[in-house]
Amino acid sequence: MNKLKNIFASKLFQLSFSALLIFVAFRKVDVGKLFNEVQQAPLWVVVALLAYMAVSMMIGGLRWSVLVLEKVKFRDVLAFTRATYAGAFYSLFFPSMVGGDLLKWTALMKKYPEISKLKLAGTALIDRVIGFSAFAVIALIALTVGKLLKYQFPDVLWWIFLGINFALVLFYVLVFSLDFEKILSKYKFLKKLLNLVDLLKNSNKKRILICFLISIVAEPVWLLMTWFTSLTFKANIRLLEVFIFMPIISLILVLPISWAGFGARENLFLVFFGQLGIPAEKLLLVSAFGGILGILNALLGGLILLF
């Protein structure tokens, strides 16, 4: 009961803070005009972008399936993609994306009864860490390139991103240097955790590297969504600028401070892309439309669960 209260309180805080941030971002623009422009987006564009987002979801399903299964078939990728959609849907109701990860593995229980619940849940969280690692690396590279090209960034971001990457490097050094199977087998009360750390056995650690490489390759695919949205509304955001600013914005949005990123994302667009001289109305249009697509994509997860 207390957990449900905490979840409700966290979600209420996110909704309230999102509302405040949305007010700050949109207070100087004609909201009615922006709403009309969003409505004028061609239906085929919406469908095409949702289909493109499905590619990103499938890549996520592939990455997770590689972590869990020794031999991955196409039907496995589809099953794990379905579970990834489920996680996106659950995340609408939890304080952070990790909340969705805590439940999305349940969509796989009937299809893979031979795999323990602990392993499915554990690999879901490890998969999130690997995806976040790719985000962090690319965000640091983007920030470095942006500074070299004389774009403006708060100096504190450099140290924060550097610290995050240092912590991740330390994490992977420990993962690849320690023999978890040997360590845990010494203690009877820890033996149950062997299913969870099965992936961390020496013979399986190459899967982590493969999944990290999948994440690195997948990042540009995901980032292109913003560029496509920019083209839709003629915001004139160049592809290079998308690759520089979006990884930074996305890494900041990992913080569970707003609902589905609304409000925080719009303000970050104004801060970073605003220095390019692009009108605030266009930036808010691109940002809000991207957020709406994200919600529609997550709701597809609910439909997939329903049927």
57-66, 173-182, 229-238, 267-276: range with lowest mean pLDDT: 173-182
Q: Which residue has the higher pLDDT, 193 or 106?
A: 106
Task: Give the number of residues written for the chain.
Answer: 307
Q: Sorting pLDDT into bands at 50, 70 and 90, what band is 167?
A: very high
- The pLDDT value recorded for residue 99 is 64
Average pLDDT along the chain: 83
pLDDT in tens, 133-162: 998 999 999 999 999 999 988 889 989 999
Cα dihedral sign, 212-70-97-171: negative
19-23, 176-180, 200-204: range with lowest mean pLDDT: 200-204
* pLDDT average, residue stretch 198-210: 72
**φ/ψ bin of 112: left (φ > 0), alpha (ψ from -120 to 50), beta (otherwise):** beta
What 278-285 contacts at long range (C-beta under 8 Å, 24+ apart), as own/partner pairs, is 278/235, 278/236, 278/237, 280/28, 280/29, 281/29, 281/30, 281/33, 281/34, 282/233, 282/234, 282/235, 282/236, 283/235, 284/25, 284/26, 284/29, 284/34, 285/34, 285/37, 285/38, 285/233, 285/235
Q: Which residue has the higher pLDDT, 172 or 165?
A: 165
- The pLDDT value recorded for residue 142 is 94
pLDDT in tens, 213-255: 999 988 888 899 999 999 998 888 999 999 999 999 988 888 7
**What is the residue extent of each domain of the chain?**
2-306
Q: Sorting pLDDT into bands at 50, 70 and 90, what band is 87?
A: confident
pLDDT in tens, 100-130: 777 888 889 889 998 888 788 888 888 888 8
